[in-house]
Structure 1
Amino acid sequence: MRILLVAPQPFYQERGTPIAIRLLAETLCSQGHAVDVLTYHEGVDLEIAGLRILRTPALPGVRNIPIGISWKKLLCDVLLCARLLGLALTRSYDVIHAVEEAVFPAILLRSAARARVVYDMDSMLGEQLLAKWRFLRPVARALRALERAAIRRADAVFAVCEDLAAHVAADAPGVPVFLIEDVALPAEPLAAPAERLRESLGIRATLALYVGNLQRYQGVEPLVHAMALLPADRDVTLVLIGGSQREVARMRALVDGLELQRRVILMGPRPVAHLASYLTQADVLVSPRLHGNNTPMKVYSYMRSGTAILATRIRSHTQVLDEECAYLVAPEAQALAQGLARMADDCELRARLGAAARLRALQRHSLDAFREKVRFAYRSLQPAPASQ
Structure 2
Amino acid sequence: MKVAFIAACPFVDDRGTPLRIYGLARAIAGQGVEVHAVAYHLGRDPPKDSGILLHRIWNNPYKKTGPGPSWFKPILDILALWKTIRVVKKNDIKVIVGSHFEGGFIGFAAARLLGRKVIFDAHASLADELVAFKFLKRKGLRYRFFLKLEKFLVGHADAIAVDSGLLGSHFQSLGALPERITVVPTGISEEDFSLPPEEVKSIRDTLCGKKTMALYTGTLAPYQGLDILLESFAEVQKRNKDLHLVIVGGTLPEIESYKSLTGKLGVEGITFAGKVPFTEIPKYLLAADILVAPRLEDEGTALQRATKILSYMAAGKPIIATRIEAHTCTLDEETAFLVKPNDKGELSRALAAVTGNLEKSEEKGRKAMKKVFEDYSWTSIGKTLREIIARFT
By the TM > 0.5 criterion, same fold?
Answer: yes
- Which of 224, 230, 241 pairs up with 2:248? 241
Letter in 2 for 1:53: L
Letter in 2 for 1:167: H
Q: Deviations over 1:262-290 (max 9, x none)?
A: 3x222222333333332233221001111
Q: Aligned-pair distance for 1:29?
A: 2.1
Does residue 341 (structure 1) correspond to residue 352 (structure 2)? The answer is yes
TM-score by length of 1: 0.88
Q: Aligned-pair distance for 1:358?
A: 1.2
Q: 2:262: which partner in 1?
A: 255
CA distance in 2, matches of 1:208, 1:195: 15
Pick which of 273-282 and 154-163 moved more: 273-282
Does residue 134 (structure 1) correspond to residue 112 (structure 2)? The answer is no
- Contact 2:122/2:162 (CA < 8 Å) preserved in 1? yes
Q: Aligned-pair distance for 1:167?
A: 1.9
- Structure 1 pair 139–15 and aligned structure 2 pair: CA distance change class (3 A): closer
* Match runs of 1:1-388 below 5 Å: 1-46=1-46, 47-48=48-49, 51-59=52-60, 61-85=61-85, 92-100=92-100, 101-132=102-133, 133-134=135-136, 137-170=140-173, 171-185=175-189, 186-187=191-192, 193-194=199-200, 196=202, 198-230=204-236, 232-235=238-241, 236-262=243-269, 264-290=270-296, 291=298, 292=301, 293-332=303-342, 333-379=344-390, 381-383=391-393
Q: Deviations over 1:350-378 (max 9, x none)?
A: 12211211111122112332233223333
CA distance in 1, matches of 2:213, 2:51: 43
Pick which of 159-168 and 356-365 moved more: 159-168
CA distance in 1, matches of 2:83, 2:278: 30
Q: Deviations over 1:286-307 (max 9, x none)?
A: 0111132322222111111110
Secondary structure at the aligned position of 2:245 is classed as: strand
Q: Deviations over 1:156-215 (max 9, x none)?
A: 111112311222344323442221212235418979924545533455443211112222
CA distance in 1, matches of 2:37, 2:207: 40
Letter in 1 for 2:182: F
Letter in 2 for 1:355: R
Give 5+ residue unaligned stretches, structure 2. Answer: none
CA distance in 2, matches of 1:267, 1:49: 27
Q: Deviations over 1:22-67 (max 9, x none)?
A: 22222222222222211112233343576432222222x3224322
CA distance in 1, matches of 2:169, 2:261: 39
Secondary structure at the aligned position of 1:187 is classed as: helix
TM-score by length of 2: 0.87
- Give the structure, 1 or 2, with the largest relative contact order (CA under 8 Å, sep 6 or more): 2
- Structure 1 pair 123–190 and aligned structure 2 pair: CA distance change class (3 A): same
- Contact 2:68/2:130 (CA < 8 Å) preserved in 1? no
Secondary structure at the aligned position of 2:160 is classed as: strand
CA distance in 2, matches of 1:265, 1:50: 36
CA distance in 2, matches of 1:5, 1:197: 34
CA distance in 1, matches of 2:183, 2:352: 36
- Contact 2:312/2:319 (CA < 8 Å) preserved in 1? yes
- Contact 1:241/1:270 (CA < 8 Å) preserved in 2? yes
CA distance in 1, matches of 2:195, 2:358: 30
Letter in 2 for 1:148: K
Pick which of 358-367 and 177-186 moved more: 177-186
CA distance in 2, matches of 1:355, 1:135: 41
Letter in 2 for 1:246: P
CA distance in 2, matches of 1:87, 1:278: 37
Q: Aligned-pair distance for 1:331?
A: 1.5
CA distance in 1, matches of 2:251, 2:77: 22
Give 5+ residue unaligned stretches, structure 1. Answer: 384-388
Pick which of 207-216 and 272-281 moved more: 272-281
Provide the aligned C-alpha RMSD in A.
Answer: 2.6
CA distance in 1, matches of 2:25, 2:356: 43
- Contact 1:155/1:176 (CA < 8 Å) preserved in 2? yes
